[in-house]
Chain A
């Protein structure tokens, strides 16, 4: 795969949400607004890139039987790093995303990429893979966030274009499942073409 292909595959061909269907929890929980979705995507991307780089470096020397625990420790380290940095420099964002920052550890996308890609490829390619999948994840979360914010609050990125409230159900739990379901339908329809 070309270097360019590594970066763009996350958008369509290996879209983590619509094709791989991984990391559903943050996808549903943090997309109440476009901004929240974007922030969650970027946080995940940060961990994804760093863990991909480190894992591709250490994979050749890690004994096979303990590779999963080792990968989990590496990923958890970067997640904790992210937690500390966010608490220090972006406390508001940290508070909004709350529990879902530590839960990046168990986001199947991160461990999945470590296992399926980083452990078998060069450092450079693994970094690009992290960027590509991370961008795809961020983009998808932002789109879901935009749809839910438009329908639920009548605004985009906090810019309000309808006075008053939107359809509240879309900001609440049911809206998350419904929007994701219908976006998947749309994705399937478009991907068929």
Chain B
């Protein structure tokens, strides 16, 4: 049965197990590194395809600091910018990718991750009426604030805080866009 528990045996078996396990994991890590990178790229590419018009250009990832917050964005020459904007929602961080065309119009937006209440705030990821109202939104003409606060955005029923957060995410992206283009 079990080997004797002297110091040599214990150290030996622990070391051996750790070595074999880390070796195995190293191999699997090397094998899966490429598919994991591809899966992440595919997710980003799919989101960009939803928020910006079709383009032949390869998206270029860059980042910018606006008002002390770092934003990651993808530049597609000819199509516009896909800006990732994260704000505090009702249940936690709400991360939205916002596509803005080169003339400053919001093309579309898509939720990347959220922790809103299922069935209420979580609708911000699926409610077509809510999401589609931002399609073709011209920030110069309509105010990116929910109606309750005197703006032009129709909130999701019973989820004002989430709607406010989503709207804020888009408004932040618009600010990032104007920072990006002001020197051109």
A and B touch in the complex (CB under 8 A): yes
State the B residues within 8 Å of A (CB). 1-6, 9-10, 13-14, 17-18, 21, 24-25, 28-29, 32, 35-36, 39-40, 43, 113, 117-120
Q: Complex Cα distance A70/B5, Å?
A: 13
User: What distance in Å separates the Cβ of A28 from its nearest Cβ neighbour in chain B?
Assistant: 14
Interface SS, B side: helix
Stretch at the interface among A39-47, A60-68, A122-130: A60-68
Name the residue on A nearest B21 (C-beta): A77
Interface residues of A in 75-89 (CB under 8 A from B): 76-77, 80-81, 84-85, 87-89
Which among B2, B28, B117 is the interface contact of A67 at CB below 8 angstroms?
A: B2
Q: Complex Cα distance A63/B3, Å?
A: 5
User: What distance in Å separates the Cβ of A165 from its nearest Cβ neighbour in chain B?
Assistant: 5
Instruction: State whether B21 touches A74 (Cβ < 8 A).
Output: yes
Name the residue on B nearest A90 (C-beta): B39
Asked if A181 is an interface residue, CB under 8 A from chain B, the answer is no
Q: Complex Cα distance A74/B28, Å?
A: 15
User: What distance in Å separates the Cβ of B27 from its nearest Cβ neighbour in chain A?
Assistant: 10
Q: How many residues of A contact B (CB 8 A)?
A: 33
Given A70-B14, A152-B118, A152-B119; A81-B3 close (CB under 8 Å): no
Given A66-B10, A91-B40, A168-B118; A61-B29 close (CB under 8 Å): no
Asked if A172 is an interface residue, CB under 8 A from chain B, the answer is yes
Asked if A179 is an interface residue, CB under 8 A from chain B, the answer is no
Instruction: State whether A91 touches B39 (Cβ < 8 A).
Output: yes
| 18 A–B pairs (Cβ distance < 8 Å), ordered by A | A62-B3, A63-B5, A64-B5, A66-B13, A74-B17, A81-B25, A84-B28, A84-B29, A87-B39, A91-B36, A91-B43, A152-B119, A153-B119, A168-B118, A168-B119, A171-B118, A171-B119, A172-B118
